[in-house]
Structure 1
Amino acid sequence: MKRSLRAALPSIDTLIVFEQAAQALSFTKAGAQLGLTQSAVSRQMIDLEALLQVALFARERQRLKLTEAGAEFRELIRPVLQDLRAATLRMQMHAVPNNVLNVSVAASFCNLWLIPNLPGFCAQANAPQVNLMPHVGPVVFGANAIDAAVVNAERPPEHCEYLKLCDLEIGPFAAPSLLRRLGVGRLEDFGRIPAVDIREGNGAWPRYLAHVGLSRIGIDCVASHSLLLLSHEMAVAGLGVALLPPEFVASGRAPGALKRLHPALLALGRSYYFCWPAASKKRETIQALGLWLQRELQVARARGSRVRKG
């Protein structure tokens, strides 16, 4: 029975070699990626085709192409290999000590606020090692080897513990170079605003202008993004005026500093939450990070910039 089962199924190594060859469409390149010779890759693929009794590759004029069966087989085994890699990583994570936290972080929050400020947390006595994994969209703890997450959402995530870090509130920011070019210094000075818009903001620019009593100002949308990170980079490049949380923005003479054009903020009806599985064995360490995030974000909002001056 053991010999029969072994003969009926390809090895994991063979499937990995096939996946690499299907991606590279070259036995030579696949071998270089895997530390194998071209002939070793070719032999494994010939044996795999013999086992499956179908041609996986078409060899035409020294060019390699996937056959229809090869493309189908690649799609069939892809989730198998992904699940195997995820299961291996998950088991390996059992050996990770409690002083290491793997945190999945909303991409804009990660790049614009957490990374510039994280050294302040890591400098504390007995601080854990924090590994960051930026994400876009929801986080599912059961399917990932993560200990905690920072999410941007309308309400607290379900089936986990959480701390509310801050509400998502935005105001207008622009690069000094753009303001000099247009000859303006305040939001009130604009006749029409070259606006960088937020797609999920439900008409954020008209709402903001109405909020501050400046609906008379026209809007020319120069770009529309789903990520605050991209809106920030557009503003830094001097391409338009962006609505951003003040704690995401460098001020003063810092590299990439933006000028705030109005003191009022508009609430988007969303918040940043720090959440973690209720049964986490690292609960105490996770909470320490969450409380630090909560405190530092309040300080950043109060000073109106993302990092401490000096």
Structure 2
Amino acid sequence: MRRKLPSLQALNCFEAAARHQSFTRAAQELNLTQGAVSRQVAALEAFLGVALFRRTQHGMVLTPAGADYARHVRQRLDALERDAMDVMGRSGPADTLTLGTVPTFATRWLIPRLPQLAARHPELLVHLETRTRPFLFTDTGIDAAIWAGTPQQLQQWAGTRATHLLDEDVLPVCSPRLLPAGEPVTPQTLAALPLLQQSTRPEAWRQWFDAQGVDAPRAMAGPRYELFSMQTAAAIAGLGVALMPTLLVQDELASGALVVACPRPLRAQRAYYLVQPQGDERPALALLRDWLLEACAQVRAP
């Protein structure tokens, strides 16, 4: 059957106009005239039989249908652009995977090991995108994700299956100048120090103090950071104590930029998983999974 699709030019003009809420600014971005953009959007509205914009005295605004359609069109155009870039970037019979990953794990653990993967499978290209929370694979074009969480959280990620990679131990660390005597402190003393919070793990400090049997009324107080790399920088700057996965701060502990604030790790509350959509698995993804399992086994080995 012949597909019932609007023209790509019309979609591109509509997406730009919806993003800018202006035909004039969309025309400037696309190097077209304002009239050309207006005609493309009008043709799209005629094709759909739905008004996408509502004209007002002060310009134009998206209709509810237009706002919803703009969101979907933007996702599809982004996916088409990624697909085109993938094909353009191939040299020879390469296979491409897009991997979503938590950013600090990617920069501190994954990327330094990717040369090993490239040496073993030179035909495999791996693109990385930042993902800190669960998402719908069908909306992103991402093939798999490395994600950190609890088994209970993993069960709530619908339509996926997961492979366990590494358990995660977390440990309080800080700048050495933040400790009163330059030595590790007790959990009770730590409770009075400024605590750096992880926005994706709002109860992390409370769980740590509960495991130590310490009452800490300010366990959830303190500045919040979305990325562990931000928390690391804040801890080095002396802004507070960070509760960090030990595998992400090995270099800072070795150099002395950070020290252990309290030698009481909280073990294996979370783990890193390779998460992928249910269904048939691409051979390239199987190669990546097998390599990840081998690399993680080397980390766990004594």
Asked if TM exceeds 0.5, the reply is yes
Contact conserved, 1:103 with 1:149, CA < 8 A, in 2?
Answer: yes
1:230 is displaced (CA, Å) by 4.3
Query: Percentage identity across aligned positions?
Result: 26
What amino acid maps onto 1:40 in structure 2?
Answer: A
Query: Which position in structure 2 is the counterpart of 1:287?
Result: 289
User: CA–CA distance in 1 between the matches of 2:160 and 2:217?
Assistant: 44
Q: Which string of whole-angstrom CA distances, capped at 9 and with x for unpartnered residues, describes residues 265-284 of structure 1?
A: 10362211124455322244
Q: Which has the larger radius of gyration?
A: 1
Query: Which position in structure 2 is the counterpart of 1:185?
Result: 183
1:246 is displaced (CA, Å) by 1.0
Contact conserved, 2:10 with 2:43, CA < 8 A, in 1?
Answer: no
1:1-310 equivalent positions in 2, closer than 5 A: 11-45=7-41, 56=53, 58=55, 60=57, 64-66=59-61, 70-82=62-74, 84-85=76-77, 88=80, 97=93, 99-115=95-111, 117-122=112-117, 124-127=119-122, 128-155=124-151, 162-179=162-179, 184-188=182-186, 192-198=192-198, 203-209=203-209, 211=211, 215=214, 219=218, 221-224=221-224, 227-249=227-249, 250-252=251-253, 257-267=257-267, 269-276=269-276, 278-295=280-297, 297-298=299-300
RMSD of aligned alpha carbons:
4.2
What amino acid maps onto 1:169 in structure 2?
Answer: D
Closer, same or farther in 2 for the Cα pair 1:106/1:202, shift >3 Å? closer
1:124 is displaced (CA, Å) by 3.0
Contact conserved, 1:99 with 1:285, CA < 8 A, in 2?
Answer: no
Closer, same or farther in 2 for the Cα pair 1:36/1:293, shift >3 Å? farther
What amino acid maps onto 1:72 in structure 2?
Answer: P
Closer, same or farther in 2 for the Cα pair 1:253/1:291, shift >3 Å? closer
Moved more, 243-252 or 231-240: 231-240
Q: TM-score scaled to structure 1, two decimals?
A: 0.70
1:171 is displaced (CA, Å) by 0.7
1:74 is displaced (CA, Å) by 1.9
Closer, same or farther in 2 for the Cα pair 1:100/1:247, shift >3 Å? same
Q: Which string of whole-angstrom CA distances, capped at 9 and with x for unpartnered residues, describes residues 97-124 of structure 1?
A: 5543321113442344334x24543563
User: CA–CA distance in 2 between the matches of 1:281 and 1:120?
Assistant: 20
- Three-state SS of the structure 2 residue aligned to 1:58 is strand
User: CA–CA distance in 1 between the matches of 2:39 and 2:268?
Assistant: 59
Query: Which position in structure 2 is the counterpart of 1:307?
Result: none
1:44 is displaced (CA, Å) by 3.6
Contact conserved, 1:196 with 1:231, CA < 8 A, in 2?
Answer: yes
Question: Any gaps of 5 or more consecutive residues in structure 2?
Answer: none
Aligned residues: 285
1:244 is displaced (CA, Å) by 0.8
Closer, same or farther in 2 for the Cα pair 1:28/1:192, shift >3 Å? same
Closer, same or farther in 2 for the Cα pair 1:136/1:121, shift >3 Å? same
Contact conserved, 2:146 with 2:274, CA < 8 A, in 1?
Answer: yes
Q: TM-score scaled to structure 2, two decimals?
A: 0.71
